[in-house]
Amino acid sequence: MTRMHRLLALPVLALLLVACAGAAAPTPTQNPPPTQSPDPTPASPPVQPTDPAANELDAIIGEWLLEEGTLDGQPIPMVPEAPITLSVNAIRVTGTSACNSYGADWVFTNDGLRLDDITMTLMLCEGHIGASETAYLEALRRTATVELDGERLVFAGEGAELRFVPADD
Q: Is residue 124 part of a domain?
A: yes
pLDDT computed for residue 79 by the predictor: 96
Q: How many C-beta atoms lie closer than 10 Å to residue 104's C-beta? A: 21
Q: What is the CATH number of the domain that holds 12?
A: 2.40.128.270
pLDDT averages per 10-residue partition of the chain, 169 residues: 36 35 43 46 37 62 96 96 94 94 86 80 93 96 91 94 90
Positive or negative, the CA dihedral 13, 14, 15, 17 is: positive
pLDDT of residue 55: 55
Mention every residue, 6+ apart, whose C-beta is less than 8 A from residue 140.
97, 102, 104, 115, 118, 155, 160, 162
Please indicate, yes or no, if residue 109 is contained in any of the structural domains: yes
Q: Cα dist. 82→4, 50, 77, 96, 154 in Å?
A: 36, 33, 11, 9, 20
In angstroms, rounded to a whole number, what is the distance separating the alpha carbons of residues 161 and 108? 18
| Residue among 26, 20, 46 at smallest CA distance from 34 | 46
Gap between the Cα atoms of 78 and 31, Å rounded: 35
In a domain? residue 13: yes
* 37 inside domain: no
Number of domains in the chain: 1
On whether residue 86 sits in a domain, the answer given is yes
Which residue type occupies 39?
D
Q: How far, in Å, CA of 147 to CA of 55, rounded?
A: 10
- Residue 95's domain comprises 3-24+49-166
Instruction: Answer yes or no: is 102 within a domain.
Output: yes
pLDDT at 57: 73
Query: Does any domain span residue 32?
Result: no
19 within some domain: yes
**Cα–chain center distance at 41:** 35
The model's pTM is 0.66
